[in-house]
Chain A
Amino acid sequence: MGAPAIKSASGKGISIRGSDIDTDQIIPARYLKAITFDGLGEFSFRDLRFDGEGRELEHPFNDKEYQDASILVVNSNFGCGSSREHAPQALMRWGIEAIIGHSFAEIFAGNCLALGIPVVEMEAAQIEILQEWVESNPGTEIHIDIVAQKIRYNEQDIQVSIPESHRKALVDGIWDTTALLKSNPEEVKQISGQIPYIK
């Protein structure tokens, strides 16, 4: 239905540590003041990457070693807070193509799916091991197999999970929902006619 099938993702890893990383940390609200998503990438984690005077702080997104990374590794409840799609848009525009974490906030995960960014869940202990590995071995290639729900790095395979509806949408190329939802206007009209409060 117009969206490419996404059966895998591969790239260099980058680790962001901490649970409850909220959408205000991913993209502070003052950078939402625009009518497009253009140019958001540079504001990813802005307040963690720069001090009040605009000087660079130590942060993986500033680290030269990780500038071409595309697989983000995070802990639990990543993306909690706002429904702003600016959060995954900013990460995507920085270069992130897939995220591996222990758990994700629901709206954030849905927004990622809408952009074709796979969001993959993995056991907390395995996340720690992967983060340590990525931090001590910049340039580590991670391969995500969305069909088999496995990731591969450092010559080992690890089981991961992806919510079935998300997995199917990615693998079957139906994650861009507009065309799908637009294909049955008569049926929509008929259902709306049965809803008591719709005049």
Chain B
Amino acid sequence: MSEGTLYDKVWDGHKVRELPNGQDQLFVGLHLIHEVTSPQAFGMIREKRMEVAYPELTHATVDHIIPTKDQSRPFKDDQAEQMMAELESNTLEANIKFAGPDSGDQGIVHGVGPERGLTQPGMTIVCGDSHTSTHGAFGALAFGIGTTQIRDVLATQTMALGRQKVRRIEVKGELGEYVTAKDIILTIIRHLGTDGGVGHVYEYGGPAVSKLSMEGRMSICNMSIEGGARAGYINPDETTYEWLKNTDTFEKDPNRFEELLPYWESIRSEEDAKYDDVFEIDCNEIEPMVTWGTTPGQGIGISEEIPDPKSLAESKRESAIRAQNHMRVTPGDKMEGYKIDVAFIGSCTNSRMSDLREACKIVEGKTVASNVRALVVPGSQRVKLAAEEEGLDKIFIESGFDWRLAGCSMCLAMNEDQLIGDEACASSSNRNFIGRQGSKDGRTILMSPAMVAAAAIKGEVTDVRRI
């Protein structure tokens, strides 16, 4: 069992009591909600004549279903309009702050929390979305939860959860040019598997993680769930504090920063903390990653060959064969040269300023291949505005990208942004599951934003280092 880790300290500090089945009742410091998984929970508490217990610790935004072209109301899609209206009335009734499209603060919920300083070290954070793990980048314990648990949190601000194991992932070495946080996490998942983290929380650390920006740290923690870990976190440090200082919460109230700093320092994992196990990776061996299959664990370096299913562990073979049939790839080939139809830069994994800047560097002065539909969907209204102030939008538009409004968009295709037929998409998102991007025959290749940008220009998967 782990001891002295951030996980242990934050857990203990939020534990209300042990429940009769051995799980703990945990206090939730920040509850984020969105339109897809919360309406049923509001319905459940209404049915039981309960009220939202701590509305001041609850924040809402709209992201999954929101159109990225025309957001005028009512939305063209009746179902999307109904979900939006339901969120508006639920939050109004319960006195929950709602960052809607008119607020200037709307965006993907996992971008909104960090950019406003709602997300802080040492918090327990939950949201009805598996990518809530993103907030772990700040040294918070952040879990995705289901709708029945949302009901529990709305009604009590607590949840029932069993304690997990803590795996330290030590990331050594230095990242090469155009090798990013996305490539680190795709490498980790490749090695530990999509179910390797079940029952675990991942603590990412080591020299390469220390050097990462908050944006990169968020990309890594974001995809913890793709490795089966329900949460991932990074101990807070100067980089974290620098980010926090520049958020609304602490710009408005600098004294609050000083007040909370000792707490943030106190919850860092001890030097001699005990972990359930430790896994090491060396960044010097990582190159830009691409997936060849239909799970995020089916990834390779851009210069590597697609593996023969026979060379994989027995438990991975059947899934690899299924994936290779769907993707129409052949063992021994490389992903380099794989033709694409769509390029998508966006999602809670990679739609922040640094992602857009890196992609922009690649496309500047170049043109998107004529057969490729390319779109950039900033993660939030604030990111969109900041990017426009830097002129990034113009560069994208001139090179042939669509510049869209903020939302989840083609990561999961709950709005009109969808693959059609068997289109192949170079995507900066997090899941390449069959059907994920809106068409059951669609093909998704996961990669970093810069790699997506390079693929858009060439019309095929390519090595960003050689463009």
**Which A residues fall within an 8 A CB radius of B?**
17-20, 22, 24-25, 28-30, 32-37, 47, 52, 76-77, 80-86, 88-89, 103-107, 110-111, 114-115, 124, 163-166, 168-169, 172, 174, 177-178, 180-182, 184-185, 187-188, 191-192, 194-198
Contacts and interface: CB of A to CB of B under 8 A. Distances in A.
A198 B146 contact: no
A117 B128 CA distance: 19
A61 to B, nearest CB: 15
Contacts of B54: 192
Contacts, number: 211
Contacts of B157: 188, 192
6 contacts: A76-B315, A85-B40, A111-B146, A177-B149, A178-B48, A191-B14
Contacts of A172: 20-21
Contact of A19 (B16, B19, B318): B318
B228 A178 contact: no
A178 B414 CA distance: 30
A29 B436 contact: yes
A195 B39 CA distance: 29
Given A19-B318, A35-B82, A52-B441, A174 B130 contact: no
A105 B97 CA distance: 32
Interface string B246-270: 0000000000000110010000000
B159 interface: yes
Given A35-B86, A103-B198, A197-B260, A29 B412 contact: yes
B414 A195 contact: no
Interface string B127-152: 01110100000000000111111011
Nearest to B23: A165
B435 A37 contact: no
The 5 A-B residue pairs with the shortest CB-CB distance in the complex, in nearest-first order? A114-B148, A111-B146, A85-B146, A83-B144, A35-B39
Given A18-B318, A168-B22, A195-B29, A29 B414 contact: yes
B444 to A, nearest CB: 11
A25 B434 contact: yes
Interface residues of B, number: 81
A164 B412 CA distance: 34
B50 interface: yes
Contacts of A181: 25, 152, 155-156, 158-160
B155 A37 contact: no
A187 B18 CA distance: 12
A19 B152 contact: no
Nearest to A110: B146
A83 B129 contact: yes
Given A83-B128, A185-B53, A106 B228 contact: yes
Contacts of B16: 184, 187-188, 191
A185 B156 contact: yes
A27 to B, nearest CB: 10
Contacts of A104: 198
Nearest to B160: A177
Contacts of A188: 16, 25, 27, 156-158
A28 B440 contact: yes
B198 A84 contact: no
B72 to A, nearest CB: 19
Interface in B332-381: none
Contact of B130 (A81, A177, A178): A81
B397 interface: no
B79 interface: yes
Given A20-B319, A33-B79, A168-B21, A111 B14 contact: no
B457 interface: no
B156 A178 contact: yes
A78 B80 CA distance: 29
B382 interface: no
B5 interface: no
Interface in B414-463: 414, 421, 431, 433-436, 438, 440-441
Contacts of B228: 77, 80, 105-106
A25 B160 contact: no
Contacts of A169: 21, 23
Interface string B380-401: 0000000000000000000000
A86 B198 CA distance: 20
Nearest to B153: A181
Nearest to A17: B318
Q: Which of A82, A114, A165 has the most CB of B within 10 A?
A: A82
B123 interface: yes
Interface string B197-219: 01100000000000000000000
B327 to A, nearest CB: 14
Given A36-B40, A82-B130, A24 B162 contact: no
